[in-house]
Amino acid sequence: MADERERFHQTWLHSDRAVPSRFVRPLLQFTHIEAAGGIVLLAATIAALVWANAGSGESYQEFWDTHVSFSIGSFHIDESLKHIVNDALMAIFLFVVGLEIKRELVVGELRDPKRAALPAIAALGGMILPALIYVAFVSGTGGEAMQGWGIPMATDIAFSVGVLSLLGSRISVGAKLFLLALAIADDIGAIAVIAVFYTTDLAFGWLLASLGALVAIAFASRVGIRSMGFYVVAGIVTWFFVFESGVHATLAGVALGFLTPAYAMYSDTDYYRKSKWILSRYDMDAASPRARERVDHDALDLSNIARESVSPLDRLELALHPWSSFVIVPIFALANAGVRFVDVDLLDAAASNVALGVAAGLVVGKSVGITLATFLAIRFGIGKLPPRSSWREVFGLATLAGIGFTVSLFITELAFADPQIVDRAKIGIFIGSTIAGVAGYLILRRSKTPDEELEAGREQLGLSEVSAER
């Protein structure tokens, strides 16, 4: 009887049926692996390169150039699949990024100005020096190539964390948090660069409408409106207004992420008190003539209280993060990473000022810029090294931050109109990100584990022998 009751209460996902047991649960287990996002992104990138270089490569270009039309009354949108991915799907990706940034600023690692100062300064160094290196390489070229200075400034979190996860316990928790905080601060800088420097001609009427929509959403959040349906509709309307304004539509996602409430309606104490009171009624309700109706009502109340005990920011991030990591970003890579090497003189393209500038900015600019900025911040007392971390580890993390894939590709599409320059920039991104990933891994692989660092310190103090004697 007990077994039957247990089976009865099992959900479909946790049942022994073929689909959930053989396919769904293993897939969900894979998504919880720290490196999973990077693995899927790498697979999508390889698939894009194979597709673009298969045969004549026309199928790849034709597919992403396919136009999709959408009309409501006098409003009409006619965009290619590639633009839909870059303008709409990436808005969702940046919405998730906005949620992550706000969470870190409000309740996370960046809420304390002293703790946020070091990764923020490190990120600034990792943005300025790569941009300067790129400009130095293309300064003699001039023209459109100069617009790509923002490409080597970005850090790809998925790939960086994926490589970092391969090192396991060799990397201290403090170092991992430092890289994540640095990458988030880097995202803030990249978003600012896109908003200010990669915005086309503005339509002020639509811009005012989008600002009005954002104000309305902020007011609704302030007065406690919690309907997800309202915010979904308001978010879509805001995105459309931003799209028509000339500001890149993806920035609507960032703004909406920042406006999402970071605190729950009920505190942990309220949740415990209210749920305890509801649960205490179940035994009394069992003897009531309308027991079933009362129990259903109480269960619904308990469900609502449980939901409102988690902030909208956390609920949305939990719901959207898998879609962002395993669907949106891979689709973006599939649409944008397809460089046709067959028709390109690889040696000539790789030796171009644009490719060399991007690659050098990612490898040299990131590693030196972040390390130097971190050193200066610590030297002037602005911050201190993460607990149980070494300068070798900092340099390895700085090198790893040179994996600038997703956002770098995104900025490339915004910066250039010439397909040849676009391809050269993408080749530079591939080369630079690969070198940064391999070099960062090898540097960190040679670093001592936190336990080894502790043991080395004990040996220097002569404590290991004393402990052994005891």
Mean pLDDT of 12-37: 64
Q: What percent of the chain has pLDDT over 70?
A: 81
Any idea which of 221-230, 426-435, 437-446 has the lowest mean pLDDT? 221-230
pTM above 0.85, yes or no: no
Q: Is 20 helix (H, G, I), strand (E, B) or coil?
A: helix
- The pLDDT score that the predictor gives to residue 468 is 47
State yes or no: pLDDT of 84 exceeds 80: yes
State yes or no: pLDDT of 362 exceeds 70: yes
State yes or no: pLDDT of 306 exceeds 80: no
Cα–Cα distance, 321 to 328 (Å, whole number): 10
pLDDT band at 4 (very low <50, low <70, confident <90, very high): very low
Mean pLDDT of 333-345: 81
Helix extents (H) in 198-286: 204-222, 228-245, 250-259, 268-280, 282-286
Q: Which tokens hold the place of 30?
A: 């894979």
Distinct helix (H) and strand (E) counts, the chain: 26, 2
- The pLDDT score that the predictor gives to residue 431 is 93
User: Closest by alpha carbon to 339, among 31, 69, 46?
Assistant: 46
Any idea which of 26-30, 115-119, 419-423 has the lowest mean pLDDT? 26-30
- The pLDDT score that the predictor gives to residue 466 is 47
User: Closest by alpha carbon to 358, among 423, 414, 419?
Assistant: 423
Q: Which tokens hold the place of 247?
A: 């500001």
- The pLDDT score that the predictor gives to residue 437 is 92
Most confident of 51-65, 107-121, 288-302, 426-440: 426-440
Cα–Cα distance, 190 to 154 (Å, whole number): 6
Mean pLDDT over all residues of the chain? 80
pLDDT band at 425 (very low <50, low <70, confident <90, very high): very high
Any idea which of 186-200, 204-218, 355-369 has the lowest mean pLDDT? 186-200
State yes or no: pLDDT of 452 exceeds 60: no
pLDDT band at 30 (very low <50, low <70, confident <90, very high): low
pLDDT band at 213 (very low <50, low <70, confident <90, very high): very high
Cα–Cα distance, 129 to 369 (Å, whole number): 6
Q: Which tokens hold the place of 122?
A: 């490190």
Most confident of 23-32, 213-222, 309-318, 356-365: 356-365
Mean pLDDT of 424-448: 90
Amino acid at site 170: R
Per-residue burial over 396-420, b if 16 or more Cβ lie within 10 Å, else e, is bbbbbbbbbbbbbbbbbbbbbeeee
Mean pLDDT of 125-151: 91
State yes or no: pLDDT of 1 exceeds 50: no
Per-residue burial over 282-304, b if 16 or more Cβ lie within 10 Å, else e, is eeeeeeeeeeeebeeebeeebee
State yes or no: pLDDT of 347 exceeds 60: yes
Q: Is 265 helix (H, G, I), strand (E, B) or coil?
A: coil
State yes or no: pLDDT of 240 exceeds 60: yes
DSSP string for residues in 422-434? HHHHHHHHHHHHH
State yes or no: pLDDT of 11 exceeds 80: no
Residue keyed to tokens 């990612």? 362
What tens digit of pLDDT does each residue of 316-326 get?
Answer: 888 888 888 88
Contact status, residue 79 vs residue 366, Cβ threshold 8 Å: no
CB within 8 Å of 342: residues ≥ 6 apart: 53, 57
- The pLDDT score that the predictor gives to residue 5 is 44
Cα–Cα distance, 82 to 332 (Å, whole number): 8
CA distances from 310 to 32, 256, 270, 435 (A): 21, 18, 12, 41
- The pLDDT score that the predictor gives to residue 25 is 64
Q: How many angstroms separate the first and last alpha carbons of the chain?
A: 57
Give the residue extent of every domain in the chain. Answer: 112-199+336-457, 268-306
Instruction: Compute the Cα dihedral for 347, 150, 409, 78 and give only its sign.
Output: negative
State yes or no: pLDDT of 280 exceeds 80: no
Q: Which tokens hold the place of 373?
A: 């900025």
Cα–Cα distance, 242 to 251 (Å, whole number): 8
State yes or no: pLDDT of 469 exceeds 80: no
Q: Rounded to the nearest 5°, which phi and psi values hold at 198?
A: -120, 35
* Cα angle for residues 414, 420, 422 (degrees, 5° grid): 25
Q: Rounded to the nearest 5°, which phi and psi values hold at 70?
A: -145, 130
CA distances from 307 to 259, 264, 269, 303, 312 (A): 19, 9, 14, 6, 9
Contact status, residue 245 vs residue 203, Cβ threshold 8 Å: yes
What tens digit of pLDDT does each residue of 241-270 get?
Answer: 888 887 777 788 888 888 888 887 777 777
For domain 112-199+336-457, which CATH number applies: 3.30.565.10, 1.10.540.10, 3.40.630.10, 1.20.1530.10?
Answer: 1.20.1530.10
Cα–Cα distance, 221 to 218 (Å, whole number): 5
State yes or no: pLDDT of 357 exceeds 90: yes
Q: Which tokens hold the place of 216?
A: 């309305």
- The pLDDT score that the predictor gives to residue 282 is 62
- The pLDDT score that the predictor gives to residue 103 is 83
Cα–Cα distance, 177 to 119 (Å, whole number): 10
Mean pLDDT of 428-453: 83
